[in-house]
Amino acid sequence: MGSRWKGHVTRHPLLGAVELTLAWHVVLVLFAKVVLPPLAPSWFPDLGAAVVNAVCFAGVWCVLWRWGWLRASGVATPGRLRRWWLGAPMLLVACSYAVAGLDGSASVIVSSLVSLLWVGINEEAHSRGLVQQALGPLGAMRAAVAVGVLFGVGHVQNYLFFGASLDDTLWQMLSAGLFGFACAGLRHAIGSVWPLVLVHGLDDFFQIRSPGSAPDWWQATVYVFYVAFGVWLLRRYGADGGGAASGGKPGERTEQAGALD
């Protein structure tokens, strides 16, 4: 079954990416709402979210391992270490949301940080790892656009299943889509998802724990930056190929095969 699905995804990358995205969201919602009991002890209020994301990450890892894509997807490699500095602009944007300080007790802040780092690991491994690898045959720019769209649209689950208002969800879908596009460009340039995990986790953490929302003018500036930065990365490094630092081409089998904010 796994080999047949991989063959289907390879032949139909866009359809395959949609299927992988839907499957991941189904697993996430099932574990969050049906399988796992509520997990929110006082010493770790966000334990449930951390466990759900760890379980989904394990599933994504298994699929990548079974398909021989662990390194090619950037999930099992540090990529091009000399290019990790390219993540600095997005890291500065993430840190900008901490200017107003952090809201919550020490246990809440630590719990939120750990949980949101797991969100970053899970979502980057899935979106910029598995999904972007599946979309590789489309070319760097089109793959990045598709990654951004799928990542943004996927946040509709917050309205459907997690109680977010429709207005907040629509804005989050836009923000996540543009963020996902920039991250796709960064993953293409570096060849690893791990710098993105730090950027993603801290961006979520500082925004959620900030005592107030960022000004509209700043958020609009960030949106423009995401688009411009992603386009620059893809044009500057687009000829490198979509694989990891080893130089693997999109979809190439590089290993032997033997689960939101």
Contacts of 228 (CB under 8 A, 6+ apart): none
Q: Which of 98, 73, 89, 20 is nearest to 230 (CA)?
A: 89
114-163-116 Cα angle (round to 5): 10
Residues 206-229, buried b or exposed e (16+ Cβ, 10 A)?
bbbbbeeebeeeeeeebbeebeeb
Question: What phi and psi, each to the nearest 5 degrees, are found at residue 130?
Answer: -65, -50
Q: State how far the Cα of 226 lies from the Cα of 213, in Å rounded to an integer.
A: 19
| 3-state secondary structure string across the chain | CHHHHHHHHHHCHHHHHHHHHHHHHHHHHHHHHHHCCCCCCCCCCCHHHHHHHHHHHHHHHHHHHHHCCCCCCCCCCCCCHHHHHHHHHHHHHHHHCCCCCCCCCHHHHHHHHHHHHHHHHHHHHHHHHHHHHHCHHHCHHHHHHHHHHHHHHHCCHHHHCCCCCHHHHHHHHHHHHHHHHHHHHHHHHHCCCHHHHHHHHHHHHHHHHCCCCCCHHHHHHHHHHHHHHHHHHHHHHHHHCCCCCCCCCCCCCCCCCCCCC
Q: Would you state the pLDDT for residue 242?
A: 53
Per-residue pLDDT of the chain (261 residues; tens, 9 = 90+): 578 999 999 999 999 999 999 999 999 999 999 999 999 999 999 999 999 999 999 999 999 999 999 999 999 999 999 999 999 999 999 999 999 999 999 999 999 999 999 999 999 999 999 999 999 999 999 999 999 999 999 999 999 999 999 999 999 999 999 999 999 999 999 999 999 999 999 999 999 999 988 999 999 999 999 999 999 999 999 877 655 544 344 333 333 223 355
* pLDDT score at 246: 40
**Predicted local distance difference test score (pLDDT) of residue 239:** 78
pTM for the whole structure: 0.91
Q: Indicate the DSSP class of residue 85.
A: G
pLDDT of residue 260: 57
Q: Are 193 and 75 in contact (CB under 8 A)?
A: yes
Asked if residue 183 lies in contact with residue 124, where contact means CB atoms within 8 angstroms, the answer is yes
